[in-house]
């Protein structure tokens, strides 16, 4: 998210959880939709793509982004023929800790930039 978008979001009265996730963690709309659809549940990619009504490959890309961001974990389940992965989200408390850390880090960087301004 650009700094101008951050400024407009901070002045908005109705900033929602989705806006915070997109802004602070740099997630896309689909990433946030996938995260919210999976919250409190355990699903595989096929189930998840049905919930968000998007194709499997798009959901896989979002899941990969969410795993990289530290918001999802995956667990392998052995099947008769092969293995499938089940995905689950981090806890709300862990998410809050992560967001607070990112916000503090961003504030620190912005304050450092203000100090070195001419």
What average pLDDT score do residues 77-84 get?
Answer: 90
What average pLDDT score do residues 55-78 get?
Answer: 95
What average pLDDT score do residues 62-71 get?
Answer: 95
- 109 part of a folded domain: no
For residue 33, give the nearest of 14, 57, 52 by alpha carbon. Answer: 52
- 27 part of a folded domain: yes
CATH number of residue 44's parent domain? 1.10.10.10
pLDDT at residue 47 greater than cutoff 60: yes
The token pair at 93 is: 């408390």
Global model pTM greater than 0.75: yes
For residue 66, name the pLDDT band (cuts at 50, 70, 90).
Answer: very high
Q: Residue 13: its pLDDT value, please?
A: 44
- 15 part of a folded domain: yes
Residue 84, beta-bridge partner list:
77
Residues 6+ apart with CB under 8 A from 72: 35, 38, 63, 66, 87, 88, 89, 90
pLDDT at residue 8 greater than cutoff 80: no
Report whether 28 contacts 42 (CB < 8 A).
no
Q: Residue 18: its pLDDT value, please?
A: 85
The whole domain housing 14 covers 3-90
Q: Residue 33: its pLDDT value, please?
A: 94
The model's pLDDT over 48-60, given as tens digits with 9 standing for 90+, comes to 999 999 999 999 9
Rounded to 5 degrees, φ, ψ at 67 are -65, -45
For residue 2, give the nearest of 26, 18, 21 by alpha carbon. Answer: 26
> Which secondary structure element, helix H or strand E, spans residue 3, and what is its range?
helix 3-11
Tally of domains in the chain: 1
Count of C-beta atoms within a 10 Å radius of residue 13: 4
In the numeric block, the tokens 């919250």 are attached to 39
């Amino acid at each position: 998210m650009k700094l101008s978008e951050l400024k407009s979001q901070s002045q908005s009265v109705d900033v929602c959880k989705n806006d915070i996730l997109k802004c602070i963690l740099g997630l896309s709309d689909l990433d946030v939709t996938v995260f919210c659809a999976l919250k409190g549940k355990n699903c595989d990619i096929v189930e998840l793509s049905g919930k968000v009504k998007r194709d499997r490959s798009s959901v896989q890309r979002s899941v990969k982004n969410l795993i990289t961001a530290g918001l999802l974990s995956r667990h392998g389940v052995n099947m008769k023929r092969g293995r499938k992965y089940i995905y689950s989200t981090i806890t709300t408390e862990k998410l809050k800790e992560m967001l607070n850390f990112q916000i503090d880090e961003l504030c620190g960087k912005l304050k450092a930039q203000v100090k070195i301004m001419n």
